Amino acid sequence: MAGLADSGSNPDVDLLYDINGLAKDAPHWFDRVMEFVGEWGLLLVMVLLVLWCWWNVRRRGGDEAAASVAALIWAPLAAGVAVLVNVPIRGFVERPRPFVDHEGLEVLIGGKSDYSFVSDHSTLMMAMGVGLFVANRKFGLVGIGLALLGGFCRIYMGVHYPTDVVGGFALGTAVVLLLSPLATALLTPVVRAVERAGRVGWLVRADRSAGAREKVIPGSRSDVDPAERDLAA
């Protein structure tokens, strides 16, 4: 796989230089923004998006709340599983970072001494995005969009080849979709048990019992003891 990077005429390398070349022409402050966004910012936004989706599902409630929350729990779990799967892949392929084999790249962040294929960030982001899509299509489309932007940032920063990013997208998607039926089948009963577990049930469904209670007006028929109403009838 390292051989993909050996030729400057390789489309993978050409695209790397084209995208990373944008960093050379951009203002210094913009590169610093892209560095933060590509390394930590988008990951934080993705986590907040998962929490927002959870809040939305929980607030709406319904019979499918437990299944939706179970699918949401699977999203970050799948991301973790995908990154673990990537560990032996990286060790087997042993592809150096692009700045090791190619000169003239604008590398926005240092300290990247591990292997390049596949991108952990792209794997993590796409796994969470596709996991969100399984739980809720609207939020999932936003999550997938964030993952695509994150992949672009990794190339822009000069720390990954385009094929590293595409490989990460494929790995994250595969882990989520292949294991999703089993994961949701195992997680849904657990979430339903939590839903029935009194105080912690709010994690699955909002407590609307207070709003559903009938307002009692003194002197009205609803304020009269049911037994007294029966006698009066």
Rg (alpha carbons) of the chain, rounded to whole number? 25
Q: When comparing pLDDT for 129 and 214, which is higher?
A: 129
Instruction: Give the confidence band of 147 by pLDDT, cuts at 50, 70, 90.
Output: very high
Q: Are 68 and 60 in contact (CB under 8 A)?
A: no
State residue 217's pLDDT score.
Answer: 46
Task: Take residue 40 and report the two structure tokens written for it.
Answer: 């930590």
Please report where in the chains the tokens 């990537």 appear, as a residue.
86
Q: In this predicted model, what pLDDT tens digit does every residue of 19-78 receive, in sequence order?
A: 999 998 899 999 999 999 998 999 999 999 999 998 888 776 666 778 888 889 999 999
Q: Where are the domains of the chain?
A: 9-204
In angstroms, the CA 56 to CA 188 distance is 18
State residue 193's pLDDT score.
Answer: 83
State residue 200's pLDDT score.
Answer: 59
Q: In this predicted model, what pLDDT tens digit does every residue of 132-144 receive, in sequence order?
A: 999 899 999 999 9
Give the list of residues 6+ apart from residue 111 with CB closer than 8 angstroms, or none.
none
Short-list 88, 103, 52, CA closest to 171: 88
**9-204 has which fold?**
Vanadium-containing Chloroperoxidase; domain 1 (1.20.144)
Instruction: Give the confidence band of 172 by pLDDT, cuts at 50, 70, 90.
Output: very high
